[in-house]
Structure 1
Amino acid sequence: MSLPDTHVRAVTERAVTAVRDDTLTPSEAARTRRGVIWELPGFRTGDALASLVLAAAAPRRMAVYDRRVQQALNTIALTPTPTPTPTPTPGRYGRYLQLVDDLLQHGRAQADRWTARDIDTALYWAGRPASTQL
């Protein structure tokens, strides 16, 4: 599937503008912008690639979501999905960003300068397979 460059730019501009909008909470921005970026080929299923693009646009507010992050969340009994394993349930990325924001708020005194990106990086490393752990 080939889309005109102008269409791809218009979609990504709408997504980037919203994730940088401080009037929206990170989870609200994630929910609405995940829906916008869905318009592009390759972004219709799964949240890993879409979350990567959105996190690159606003790393202090957005976070990357992938299978390692999900594994770490399962380990600590937190999950943005209705079930303990990743599903294509709509709104998962927004629920994940709400969890990230809750973690940031909860640990604010100990992690004053942490960002959403710091949280997802920590979860990524915590969720790595046991065979790769140090």
Structure 2
Amino acid sequence: MIPAPGQRDLVAALVDARSRYPDIEGGSSYDEVLLEVQARAERDGSIGKADIGALMLWKRLNLSTAWTRELNEWPDRKVRAVTGEAFEIARDTNSTIPEAAGAARSRLLELPGCQHGAAVSSTLLTAGAQDRMAVYDRRAVAALRVLGYADPVGRYSRYMTTVCELIETVNAATGATWVPRDVDKALLMGGS
């Protein structure tokens, strides 16, 4: 069937727009997350919360935000290589927690989304070294101010020094065995 003249413009516009979508076949890594979740859904017949979270991240990673597009264009193997190296650094018990935090954060600077601020990188590091790292974000900074601590001014290692001080204070006063993630949870709730 041959489209009518008005439909030809519509078809041409759609075909042109579709041709600009970054396809795996064309060497793009943009849809890797979606394809991975689709494969699990096909295999398992369902998806879980982690898959839903991945899909929400993929959906938010749209073509209009520079760092998100760049991250989605990175091959997953490259993302895993960078995060794997950062996790090794963060888990290194031969370094103090603040030293490891600063070095691991520096390793993530290559990764799109991790160049400015420490919110994204600290979240990644907390996932990869849950007993040594803590999430740093605006709520943590707000809670630190309420507690009378200075703003670590975007320095993840400085923030982790404060977290370690808070761990020592809480553990000494209560006999608890807090880790950085416990402080981060407390700061989240205190800064919300």
TM-score above 0.5, yes or no = yes
1:98 to 146, 158, 161: 161
Q: Percent identity?
A: 41
Cross-structure match for 2:183: 119
- 1:32-43 pair list within 5 angstroms: 32-43=103-114
In 2, the alpha carbon distance for the partners of 1:45 and 1:32 equals 15
Alignment: residue pair count: 120
Cross-structure match for 1:14: 85
In 2, the alpha carbon distance for the partners of 1:18 and 1:3 equals 22
In 1, the alpha carbon distance for the partners of 2:149 and 2:99 equals 19
In 2, the alpha carbon distance for the partners of 1:80 and 1:38 equals 21
Instruction: Report the CA distance between 1:5 and its aligned residue.
Output: 3.0
Structure 1: tracts of 5 or more residues without a match: 82-86, 129-134
SS where residue 43 of structure 1 aligns?
coil
Letter in 1 for 2:160: L
SS where residue 60 of structure 1 aligns?
coil
Q: Would you identify which runs of 4 or more consecutive aligned residues in structure 1 move more than 6 Å?
A: none
Letter in 2 for 1:113: T
Greater shift, 99-108 or 24-33, is seen at: 99-108
Cross-structure match for 1:55: 126
Query: Root-mean-square deviation (CA), in Å?
Result: 1.4
Instruction: Report the CA distance between 1:42 and its aligned residue.
Output: 1.0
Instruction: Report the CA distance between 1:46 and its aligned residue.
Output: 1.4
Letter in 2 for 1:70: V
Instruction: Report the CA distance between 1:56 and its aligned residue.
Output: 0.8
Answer 1 or 2: higher relative contact order, Cα 8 Å, separation at least 6: 1
Cross-structure match for 1:132: none
Under a length normalisation based on structure 1, what TM-score does the superposition of the two structures give?
Answer: 0.83
Under a length normalisation based on structure 2, what TM-score does the superposition of the two structures give?
Answer: 0.59
Post-superposition Cα deviations, 1:64-86, rounded to whole Å, max 9, x if no partner, equal 011111000011121242xxxxx
SS where residue 62 of structure 1 aligns?
coil
Larger Rg: 2
- 1:79-90 pair list within 5 angstroms: 79-81=150-152, 87-88=153-154
